[in-house]
Amino acid sequence: MPDAVPAAAAPHRARTTRLGHRAPAVRQDGLVSALCVVVMGVSGTGKTTVGHLLAARAGVPFADADSFHSAASIAKMSSGAPLDDADREPWLAAVGRWLQERSEQTGGVIACSALTRRYRDILRAAAPTVFFVHLTADRDELIERMDGRDHYMPATLVDSQLRTLEPLEPGERGIALRTDRAPEQLAEVAAAAARNAGTAETDPR
């Protein structure tokens, strides 16, 4: 069965993924749109772990936006210097292209910091139905996690990311979840939230 159908084809029912979200049946350009999820937040919140679990649960591809950074950006962060908007623009464009491609095919899940409303707007422009799962944790917990992992991002950049962070606002499709429970539970709650696909909400607990 093709991933996309022409507008002139026979009526097409909205597809339901294992995330449970019924995506819009046909977009303005005649292509079927599939659900994409961005697991967002500062470093150390467990975006990659939860994203992997959510993608496996949905049976869709997973990507880690860290792998989309240029060598120059990785070197900059490794030195302890935060990225600026100029550094992030080509990176966000690459993430947006991935989301756009996935939205035209099977859907997908990507772990991406997406710290500000403007950054998320760039991603929404590429995939208008994207759903954000914002993982949060206390600063001390973030530092402890960062110190205990092998990653080019040093723990010293956590404070810079926390200063930059703009939480999801009303009107943004997504949910904020505290990471004080098992990743499997977070993936389950995130899947249910994506199924409902409402605007920004806080942890339902």
Compute CA distances 60 → 35, 67, 166, whole Å. Answer: 10, 18, 28
Alpha-carbon span 65 to 113, nearest angstrom: 8
159-195: pLDDT as tens digits: 888 999 999 999 999 999 999 999 999 999 999 999 8
Per residue in 106-123, pLDDT (tens digit) is: 999 999 999 999 999 999
Give me the domains of the chain, ranges plus CATH numbers: 41-200 (3.40.50.300)
pTM of the model: 0.78
Pairing of strands 174-178, 108-111: unpaired
Other residues' Cβ atoms within 10 Å of the Cβ of residue 165:
16
Whether 132 has a pLDDT exceeding 90, the answer reads yes
Per-residue pLDDT reduced to its tens digit, 142-151: 988 877 666 5
The tens digit of pLDDT for each residue in 59-93 reads 999 999 988 987 888 888 777 777 778 888 999 99
Two structure tokens written together for 133: 């799962």
Residue 32 has pLDDT above 80, yes or no: no
| Residue 50: per-residue pLDDT | 97
